[in-house]
Amino acid sequence: MFACGQLRETGSWMDVFNPYTNERVDSTPRDGPAEVFEAIAATKPTRQLNPERRKAILCGASNELRSRADEFALLITKESGLCIKDSRKEVERAANNLLVAAEESVRIHGEALQVPAGQASKLAVTLREPVGLICAITPFNRPLNQVAVKLGPALAAGNNVILKPSAKTPLTAIALAQLIIRNGLPASMLSIVNGDPQEIGPPLVGSPDVDMIAFTGSIETGEAVARAAGAKKLLLELGGNDPLIVLDDADMRRAASLAADGAFANAGQSCRGIKRIIVLERIADELISRLAEETTAKRWGDPFDPATDVGPLIDAAAASTVKDRCDQAVRDGAQLVCGGGCEGALVEPTVLDRVPPNTELVARETFGPVAPVIRAFDDDEAVALANSTVYGLQAGIVTTSIDRFMRMANALRVGGVNLMDGPSFDSPYIPFGGVKRSGVGREGVRYAIHEMTNLKTITIPQTW
């Protein structure tokens, strides 16, 4: 659909709708298996760009993205429903990811090792080489930054990429690809396919010409991708059920603010957003009271209004799922504190107290603006609750005791733990990824580059 720098008609079209207004934003060509094979053939690795050229391309793309921030932010909001003020942050994050990728593109190196080999010692040299052709599959919830997180490291490492964005949000991905090519990337190094995942996914990830899959999405889809990929390199970010743990020495005002911001950002549609608030029983009532105040102050509705805090979910079906899980949690014994409304794709910011740990709302990853509170007797029970799901992405702990924090951080089965912050903290300079069924491998630019390169070892006799 987008190959060799050109949009190509396929005879079939897919409409993109705004989740808030339900109006058609635009249409894109709909790809099938034939277009997938065409894209693979058009994107086969041929020659490598030198590191300085890669850096210049990514720097230029980052600068242009910043100069067109308003344009990209509006496009993000149109196709995803993300609040416009958050879309602007999304553009800044993506531009920063591209800039860090540019910086790291000239820092890819191996090491030299002296290896005794009997009487004649050898020098071993390791080199990092591009994997080749990477298939990058991105979700709807971060239509720009998730694409930048994949493309930046892949291109910095010298790989070619076939991108399959979410069929619900392909427009921003196409615009970013065009921008990167305009800044000097050879058009043959980047293609985009868009269509029914069930139709184009298997031939794409199963192709013997694709060397690696970099995927962000649900556990179920990620495992299906891994099965179809076979013996390929995999970088899988499969979501989370991230807890914010609030201890009894915490600053309650800060804890409530972190809880509300982390649960409701992007309408709760974030893999590292707060999905569970685990609080010690003796301070739970105070936290609930403050959290309710923070929640009712959130403005929900029109994502194009700069004053709106919580916009729509990606569609009405997603909103209905969140509402059903909240209602089931109440039937299972949870108490509705505030919120609970649902209008089309909009879900009112909602706080639930005394949520049973085994109800679907918190046992699975729920993508919606819900703050479920689970009460724990002590630190050990809080850790046990946090570890009780199949997920293990990130966690946040609010406490003034570094000793308690370190004990809990060591006991939590997650990929990252943040002190005095929510699980959503991120930076392109640090590794990001999960354990258990939350994924395989690590993102974060330098770490993703390591995933997206192959290590070659060369040995040289030290005596001739």
Of 257, 219, 235, 276, nearest to 394 (Cα)? 276
Per DSSP bridges, beta strands 190-192 and 160-164 are parallel
Which entry of 79, 237, 365, 451 is annotated as an active-site residue? 237
- pTM for the predicted model, two decimal places: 0.94
How would you label 185-197 residue by residue, b for 16+ Cβ within 10 Å and e otherwise?
bebbbbbbbbbeb
Which entry of 59, 83, 271, 326 is annotated as an active-site residue? 271
**Residues 199-219: pLDDT tens digits?**
999 999 999 999 999 999 999
104 carries an active-site annotation: no
* Structure confidence at residue 364 (pLDDT): 95
At the fourth CATH level, which superfamily is domain 2-239+437-459? Answer: Aldehyde Dehydrogenase; Chain A, domain 1 (3.40.605.10)
**Residues 41-95: pLDDT tens digits?**
989 776 779 999 999 999 999 999 999 999 999 999 999 999 999 999 999 999 9
Confidence of residue 464 (pLDDT cuts 50, 70, 90): low
Cβ(445)–Cβ(107) under 8 Å?
no
Measured CA to CA, the distance from residue 301 to residue 295 in angstroms comes to 14
Domain boundaries, the chain: 2-239+437-459, 243-427
Average pLDDT over residues 371-386: 98
Of 434, 382, 388, 442, nearest to 407 (Cα)? 382
**Residues 310-330: pLDDT tens digits?**
999 999 999 999 999 999 999
* Structure confidence at residue 115 (pLDDT): 84
Tokens of 71: 């344009």
* Structure confidence at residue 7 (pLDDT): 74
Q: What is the CATH number of domain 243-427?
A: 3.40.309.10
The DSSP code sequence of 167-208 is TTS-HHHHHHHHHHHHTT--GGGEEE--S-HHHHHHHHHT-T
* Structure confidence at residue 333 (pLDDT): 97
Cβ(170)–Cβ(144) under 8 Å?
no
Per DSSP bridges, beta strands 350-353 and 370-376 are parallel
Measured CA to CA, the distance from residue 146 to residue 173 in angstroms comes to 9
237 carries an active-site annotation: yes
The DSSP code sequence of 201-227 is HHHHHT-TT--EEEEES-HHHHHHHHH
Say which DSSP state 294 is in.
Answer: H
Average pLDDT over residues 186-192: 93
Of 215, 124, 208, nearest to 163 (Cα)? 215
Measured CA to CA, the distance from residue 295 to residue 121 in angstroms comes to 67
Cβ(264)–Cβ(368) under 8 Å?
no
**What residues have CB less than 8 Å from 198, skipping those under 6 apart?**
none
Confidence of residue 461 (pLDDT cuts 50, 70, 90): confident
Q: Answer whether residue 179 shows pLDDT above 90.
A: yes
Of 224, 236, 191, 221, nearest to 209 (Cα)? 191
Measured CA to CA, the distance from residue 242 to residue 99 in angstroms comes to 28
